[in-house]
Amino acid sequence: MSKVETETAASAKGHAPDESAPGPDTSRSWVQIISAQGILIAFAVFLLGFGLFSDRFLSFENMESVLRSSSIIGVMALGVTVVVLSGNLDLSVGSMLSFGTVMVVDLHDKIGAAPAMGVMMVAVLALGCINGFLVGILKLNSLIVTLGMLSAIQGLTLIYSGGQNVDIAPSTQSTTWFRVFGRGDIAGLDMPIIIFAVLAILLHCAIAFTAYGRRVYAVGGNPTAAVFSGIRRGRVVFSTYVISAACVGFASIILGSRVMGSQNNVGQGYELLVLAGVILGGTSLLGGSGSIFKTVVGVLILGFIQNGLLLMGYPYYAQWIVTWIVIILAVWLDIAGKRGRLFSPIA
């Protein structure tokens, strides 16, 4: 053992087990396999489990109802996913939804449906620009900025509405074309579901297949390397907040149209449900990893949990506890998959 074998040693490798074809996943641990497919497995288990308990659960009507009730959170979660992919958070979407909905409903009777939607969109996008400016250009911490915006926008909403809830006049409710966004359907499929689906496909393509999407992933994965690669990080981050705000604008239209009125705190708590959908889908809060598609799955799981528990006769607030448990499990499995074992080897 004190002499180095040189060239001949290479032949000793012949004895070694074949290591050709680094095929995928051959030596992954079960933890990693479950983790990689975890969210889809969980999804299937939920569907089957609830399906056994209730024959109504898997019916088309019920599916449609779940999709419909998930669509507002879903649309918002699409935008928040883009923000999270770039390595930031957006907690302001909840009160932004209140703001947008109150505004579009209030303006509907005053200036008409189309101008109301236009003005609301511009206002909400302006809020997104403020977020984007503070986080992207001034490089402030996104948690603090958007948490602050969460309460600031709630205040703005109350100032706008004077503390009153707003309604579309009963006389116009049944005649305005504005009702189509929340109550309409195409070939029997509810409009909110269609809006959610179309936005999901558009954003998925934009993030997964365009140069812009690649920049978002790069900024989230390693902001410094992104800058060294000539990416204007500030602009990318700025744009993600504008996208997030735009999604909130669409969600406001669906919600306003569906309810034909709005409480001035209607979006309260949505920011957490939205974030839950994103995390549950498997998009990393650290940025740089995840996808729009994952978020769609995450949001649907949230929706099915809620629906299944209701069908099983639990009160609606039971879902908050169950959702929390499911998120913890999802996050744990995600981490476990990355380190290849369930428990951290480091105390």
Partner 1 sequence: MSDHGDDTGSVLRLEKIVKTFPGVRALDGVDFELRPGEVHALMGENGAGKSTLMKVLAGMYQPDGGRIFIDGLRCTLPTPIAAKEMGVILIHQELSLAEEMTVAENIFLGELPRSRFGFVDWGVLDKRVGDILKMLNVDFGPRTKVNRLSIAKKQMVEIARALTHDAKVVVFDEPTASLTDAEKVVLFDIIGDLQARGVGIVYISHRMEEIFKISDRISILRDGSYRGTLITAETDEDAVTRAMIGRSLDLSRDAGDVARPGDVKLAVEGLSCGSLYQDVSFKLRAGEVLGFYGLVGAGRTEIAETLFGLRRPSAGTVTLNGEAVQITSPAEAIAHGLSLVPESRKEQGLVLGMNCRDNITLPQIDNLTSGPFVSGPQEVAIYEKYRERLEIKAPSWRAMVKNLSGGNQQKIVIGKWLSMKPDVLIVDEPTRGIDVGSKAEIHNLIRELAAQGLAVIVISSEMPEVLRVSDRIAAMHQGRLVTIFERDAVTEDDLIQAISGIGVHAA
Q: Which residues bind partner 1 (CB under 8 A)?
A: 1-7, 9-10, 12-13, 16-17, 19, 22-28, 205, 209-211, 214-215, 217-218, 221-222, 224-232, 288-289, 345-347
Angle of helix 93-111 relative to helix 270-281, nearest 10 degrees, comes to: 120
Distance between CA atoms of residues 35 and 18, nearest Å = 27
Kindly report each contact of residues 338-342 with a partner whose C-beta sits within 8 Å and lies 24 or more positions away, as own/partner.
338/35, 340/29, 340/31, 340/32, 341/29, 341/31, 342/31
Distance between CA atoms of residues 21 and 185, nearest Å = 51
Nearer to partner 1, 17 or 170 (CB): 17
Q: What is the DSSP letter of 40?
A: H
Distance between CA atoms of residues 216 and 210, nearest Å = 10
CB of 264 to partner 1, least distance (A): 39
Distance, C-alpha 165 to centroid of its chain: 28
Nearer to partner 1, 183 or 214 (CB): 214
Nearer to partner 1, 56 or 341 (CB): 341
Distance between CA atoms of residues 27 and 35, nearest Å = 14
Nearer to partner 1, 159 or 198 (CB): 198
Of the candidates 289, 312, 282, the one whose C-alpha atom is nearest the C-alpha of residue 42 is 282
Nearer to partner 1, 42 or 243 (CB): 243
CB of 241 to partner 1, least distance (A): 21
CB of 219 to partner 1, least distance (A): 9
Nearer to partner 1, 69 or 222 (CB): 222
Nearer to partner 1, 10 or 138 (CB): 10
Distance, C-alpha 43 to centroid of its chain: 16
CB of 275 to partner 1, least distance (A): 21
CB of 342 to partner 1, least distance (A): 14
CB of 102 to partner 1, least distance (A): 35
CB of 229 to partner 1, least distance (A): 5
State the DSSP string of 124-165.
Answer: HHHHHHHHHIIIIIS---HHHHHHHHHHHHHHHHHHHHTT--
What percent of the chain is helix, strand and coil (3-state, nearest 5)?
70, 0, 25
CB of 45 to partner 1, least distance (A): 26
Kindly give, in sequence order, each residue whose CB lies less than 8 Å from that of residue 281, ignoring residues fewer than 6 positions away. Answer: 39, 81, 290, 291, 293, 294, 295, 296, 297, 298, 299
Nearer to partner 1, 219 or 253 (CB): 219
- Find where tokens 């449609």 sit: 64
